[in-house]
Amino acid sequence: MKDSMAKADSGSASGEVGPAGAAGGGEAVAAAAPGDLAKAAELGARVKLPVAARGKIFEWAVYGATGACIAIIAGLFIELLANSWLSISTFGLSFLWTSEWNPVTNQFGALPFIYGTIVSSAIAILLASITGVMAGAFLAEFSPPRLAEPLSFVIELLAAVPSVVYGLWGLFVLGPVMRDYIEPFLQRYFGFLPIFAGTIYGVGMLTAGVILAIMIVPTVTAISRDVMRAVPNSQREAIWALGANRWQGFRMVVLPIARPGIFAACILALGRALGETIATTMVIGNRPAIAASLFAPGYTISSVIANEFTEATSQVYLSALLELGLLLFIISVIVNGLARLLLWTIFRPMES
């Protein structure tokens, strides 16, 4: 017992882990064997070398794991670039802004897919950020603690549902509800807006956005709840002491402090929405066209890859599909980059 403890101590005392570990180690030794320090030190000395080696191994493992992540990303990018080269050299930059997608004549353009990906994800993040942040605020600030735990569990359960289940549910349940109730309602009262005009199919851009929103709401809710809970109580008590009520305290103290974290939650959720495949494919209508109406069918990058990759045989066709993959990769990088930029430029000055 003593021996193993001393070993553990010497691990932290060897200096690899820094001052906090060393201090903790010293305390433990003192507590375990107050009169036997010399022996403990001797034991420590005997196992010092292997422990140091273990530290080194751990260090290398950490470097290795991080390096592997970067290598995978780099490899992914290079592989995508190499395999889409045929398409890039055939269509050039016009791939980005032409709308023709014709596998019969091997003419490919990505614009409707880029548009569909961005619009469906934008609808999703708009709906999910509002709902998710409010739900997170309820769980963190307003709900009785006895209710918060089971509710959190249920909301997190939403994240565990496989996306194909969402897709089927979207096709068989949400689609008809959108077609018979929600979209006619929107058209009746807001039909003067072009986004709510046109034929109602039930499936389409709006339905896809709603399905995606349901899928990413748990992410937004869970993270914003945690971020709000992390706001120190002293801050709340301070504003309450000034006479603010719960709601005012939330608005003036909790929300501003938690805002960068909430924003990060939304970005994380947006990443999932951009890449979601099966659920979107089931309900978006899969038509590569750009329409002003959100009721019209659309198409996303990941959907077209999932739909057409398995049966694509011509080289240019395959290459064009891979170039779409490359574009999705680039879009994700841009979205994440912009998010970081926003975090730096908007929230940093506010904090200081």
Of the pair 90, 131, the CB lying nearest another protein is at 90
Of the pair 69, 165, the CB lying nearest another protein is at 165
In the complex, the smallest distance separating the C-beta of residue 269 from another protein, rounded to whole angstroms, is 24
> Quick check: 170 and 279 in contact, CB under 8 A?
yes
In the complex, the smallest distance separating the C-beta of residue 77 from another protein, rounded to whole angstroms, is 23
In the complex, the smallest distance separating the C-beta of residue 184 from another protein, rounded to whole angstroms, is 14
In the complex, the smallest distance separating the C-beta of residue 313 from another protein, rounded to whole angstroms, is 5
Of the pair 133, 279, the CB lying nearest another protein is at 279
In the complex, the smallest distance separating the C-beta of residue 196 from another protein, rounded to whole angstroms, is 18
Question: Which positions lie near another protein, rule CB under 8 A?
Answer: 100-105, 171-172, 175-176, 179, 199, 201-203, 281-282, 285-288, 297, 299, 303, 306-314
In the complex, the smallest distance separating the C-beta of residue 320 from another protein, rounded to whole angstroms, is 12
Which residues are CB-neighbours of 202 under 8 A, at least 6 positions away? 175, 176, 178, 179, 180, 183
Q: What are phi and psi of 107, to 5 degrees?
A: -110, 125
In the complex, the smallest distance separating the C-beta of residue 205 from another protein, rounded to whole angstroms, is 12
Of the pair 167, 249, the CB lying nearest another protein is at 167
Of the pair 204, 218, the CB lying nearest another protein is at 204
Of the pair 148, 177, the CB lying nearest another protein is at 177
